[in-house]
Amino acid sequence: MIVCETASVDETRSVAAAVASLATNGDLLVLVGDLGAGKTHFTQGFARALDVTDRVTSPTFTLANRYEGRLVVNHLDAYRVEQLAEAEDLALPELLEDGVTLIEWGDLILPALPTDLLEVRITLGEADDDRRIEITPIGLAWQERFARLADALQKWAVG
């Protein structure tokens, strides 16, 4: 696990951009954190780093947004998914074939997800914009890039 700390929304977006610099087609990121922790801000920084020019917004009510960039960015929100069967209706296998997929509240539907993913857990800090971001590779794809990921996040890493 890599632990990062940020003190502003822009820094959180920069951490995401550093992660995006290592993203490849088919990657899955599960974003975990309380309401207002910064999951959408993280996705905005990630998408911007992949040359997405559209405004990235929370897909809480639409469940899924798709953005075109250097890689396609699929942005999902599982907050309103009440049953695992609903998660299966999101067509995750098809999404994972085309671009990078980020799922806010993805921990709520983990049994429906592939076991190869990057978990990004964002927690609130002491000051309003302080965030602690724990990044954990699960499965081989991100573990193989772990050293490069640690280098990319060195600026914000603690411990």
Alpha-carbon distance of 95 to 119, in angstroms, equals: 18
What is the model's pLDDT at position 128?
93
Tokens of 20: 């995006």
What is the model's pLDDT at position 85?
54
Show pLDDT as tens, one digit a residue, over the chain (159 residues).
Answer: 999 999 999 999 999 999 999 999 999 999 999 999 999 999 999 999 999 999 999 876 667 899 999 999 999 988 766 555 555 555 666 767 889 999 998 888 888 888 899 999 999 999 999 999 999 999 999 999 999 999 999 999 997
Q: For the beta carbon of residue 91, count every other beta carbon within 10 angstroms.
A: 11
Q: For the beta carbon of residue 47, count every other beta carbon within 10 angstroms.
A: 27
Q: For the beta carbon of residue 112, count every other beta carbon within 10 angstroms.
A: 18
Does the global pTM surpass 0.75?
yes
| 3-state secondary structure labels for all residues of the chain | CEEEEECCHHHHHHHHHHHHCCCCCCCEEEEECCCCCCHHHHHHHHHHHCCCCCCCCCCCCCCEEEECCCCCEEEEECCCCCCHHHHHCCCHHHHHHCCEEEEECHHHHHHHCCCCEEEEEEEECCCCCCEEEEEEEECHHHHCCHHHHHHHCCCCECC
Domains, the chain: 14-129+142-152 (3.40.50.300)
What is the model's pLDDT at position 88?
59
What is the model's pLDDT at position 64?
82
Task: Tokens 């999101």: give the residue.
Answer: 90
